[in-house]
Chain A
C-alpha cells in the first residue's frame, strides 16, 4: 500500500536558518502530495500541495517540489522564524477515485530558537 516516510525530529534550528524537512513516498499511480502544519493545541492546516510531477507548491515562504524520479517532496524554507515552530506532516492522496483518505507521515517537530 501507499506510505510516506519523513524525518521525525525534533529538528532544532536557530532563527533565520535554512530549513529542509525530507519526505519520501511509495504509491502506485499518480498521487497528489501535501504538507500540513500543526501549531500547538490546534488542528492540521494545509500548508501547500503539488498535484503532478515537477510541480512546486509554495506558501508563507515554504516550498516543496514533486520529484517523481526520486519519489520525494522535501519541504524547504530559506529563513525560518520562531513562529514556524510546529509539527509538519507530509501526506499523499491517491489518484482520482480515492475517497479513503490521506496517507500521512508521522510528523516532524520543528523548534526554532531565537
Chain B
C-alpha cells in the first residue's frame, strides 16, 4: 500500500518549457487535489477533482491544467513554465466528508515535487 505517489521528485525547467506532474493513489479515494507550497504562503489549492470525470479550479489555477485520467491518477500540467511557478507541488487524496464515506475530509499527501523554473 503505497498511499499517494508523485513523479518526478525534482525538476528544473527553463522559462517557456512544459511538463506534467504525475500523481497516483491506491486508497480508492474519490477526491484528489493539487497544492503548491511557497515560503510564508502555506499551501494553496491549485485544482481539485471531487470525483472521476470532474475537475474544478482552486485558489491559484492560472498557468496550470489538470487531467483526472481515472480514479487513481490526477496529473498537473504546466504548458509554459514561468519563474513564478517555482515551488513545491503536493498531490493529495481523500474521501468527501459524510456519514456514507465515514470520512471527515482528512487528506493524505504525496511526498511532493520540487520544481525550479529558470
A residues neighboring B (CB under 8 Å): 8, 32, 34, 36, 42-46, 49, 51, 89, 93-102, 104-107
Whole-angstrom distance between the Cβ of B70 and the nearest chain A Cβ: 18
B residues neighboring A (CB under 8 Å): 4, 30-31, 33, 40-43, 45, 48, 50-51, 56, 58, 90, 92, 96-99, 104-112
Chain A minimum-CB-distance residue to B91: A43
Name the contact of A97 in the complex, choosing from B48, B96, B104 (C-beta under 8 A).
B96
What residues on B are CB-neighbors of A46 within 8 Å? Answer: 106-108
Whole-angstrom distance between the Cβ of A48 and the nearest chain B Cβ: 10
Contact B50 A99 (CB under 8 A): yes
> At the interface, is chain A mostly helix, strand, loop or mixed?
loop
Q: Using A93-B104, A104-B42, A104-B43 as known contacts, list a sample of 12 further A-B pairs with CB atoms less than 8 Å apart, ordered by residue number in A.
A: A36-B109, A43-B109, A44-B43, A93-B106, A97-B96, A97-B97, A99-B31, A99-B96, A100-B45, A101-B33, A102-B105, A106-B40
- 12 inter-chain pairs at a CB distance below 8 angstroms, sorted by A residue, are A8-B40, A32-B104, A34-B106, A43-B110, A43-B111, A49-B104, A51-B104, A97-B97, A99-B30, A100-B48, A102-B105, A105-B42
What residues on B are CB-neighbors of A107 within 8 Å? Answer: 42-43
- Distance of A34 Cα from B4 Cα, bound (Å): 19
Chain B minimum-CB-distance residue to A102: B107
Contact B105 A94 (CB under 8 A): yes
What residues on A are CB-neighbors of B90 within 8 Å? Answer: 43-44
Whole-angstrom distance between the Cβ of B8 and the nearest chain A Cβ: 14
Whole-angstrom distance between the Cβ of B39 and the nearest chain A Cβ: 10
Chain A minimum-CB-distance residue to B44: A104
Chain B minimum-CB-distance residue to A95: B97
Contact A49 B96 (CB under 8 A): no
Contact A94 B43 (CB under 8 A): no
Name the contact of B48 in the complex, choosing from A45, A49, A99 (C-beta under 8 A).
A99
Contact B112 A101 (CB under 8 A): no
Whole-angstrom distance between the Cβ of B97 and the nearest chain A Cβ: 5
Contact A32 B107 (CB under 8 A): no
